[in-house]
């Protein structure tokens, strides 16, 4: 019972961290559209949201393994889709932080599309409990992820103005 309570708290913690991470992407977008200036307090909150997303995810995995056998827990295509998604999102997030001011319009749109698509699809996978443990094959989950990134990148390309060089 204690482990399930910890799981519920960790899931809530994960949701709050996801919201902060999504806000970070949209805060960057507003800065790029010159709708908002950089604000140190919000930037700090958003950076910590990303960190807490990693921490809460690790807690969820640890409790999930504790509640089931390691082999059973790892035999889940949805889990491996989330792992793939997290690795791509982490690389994209790092790239945004390092190159956002110098990136071409196409690269910027792709980075933001990956971030938005990863956060949205990761949220979907988090609530899609009935799809766990072999209901769908890994390839179907990846296809959904690719489609989400594609649609997110198309949306971003329509919402952001082209990069203006001084």
Q: pLDDT (tens digit, 9 = 90+) per residue, 21-72? A: 888 877 777 777 677 666 666 667 667 888 899 899 999 999 989 998 888 8
CA 100 – CA 79 distance, rounded (Å): 30
pLDDT value, residue 77: 92
pLDDT value, residue 38: 64
- What is the model's pTM? 0.84
CA 111 – CA 100 distance, rounded (Å): 9
Question: pLDDT tens, 120-153?
Answer: 999 999 888 888 888 899 999 999 999 999 999 9
CA atoms within a 13 Å half-sphere pointing along the CA-CB vector of 8 = 4
Backbone angles phi, psi at 96, to 5 degrees: -60, -45
- Of 23-27, 80-84, 90-94, which range is least confident? 23-27
């Amino acid at each position: 019972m204690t482990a399930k309570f910890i799981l519920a708290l960790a899931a809530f913690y994960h949701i709050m961290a996801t919201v902060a991470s999504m806000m970070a992407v949209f805060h960057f977008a507003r800065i790029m559209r010159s709708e908002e200036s950089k604000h140190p307090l919000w930037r700090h909150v958003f950076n910590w949201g990303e960190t807490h997303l990693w921490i809460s995810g690790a807690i969820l995995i640890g409790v999930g393994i504790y509640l089931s056998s390691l082999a059973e827990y790892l035999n889940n295509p949805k889990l491996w889709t989330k792992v793939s998604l997290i690795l791509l999102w982490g690389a994209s997030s790092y790239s945004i932080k390092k190159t956002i001011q110098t990136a071409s319009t196409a690269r910027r749109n792709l980075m933001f599309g990956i971030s938005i698509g990863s956060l949205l699809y990761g949220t979907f996978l988090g609530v899609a409990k009935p799809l766990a443990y072999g209901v769908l094959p890994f390839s179907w989950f990846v296809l959904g992820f690719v489609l989400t990134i594609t649609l997110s990148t198309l949306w971003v390309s329509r919402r952001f103005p082209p990069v203006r060089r001084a």
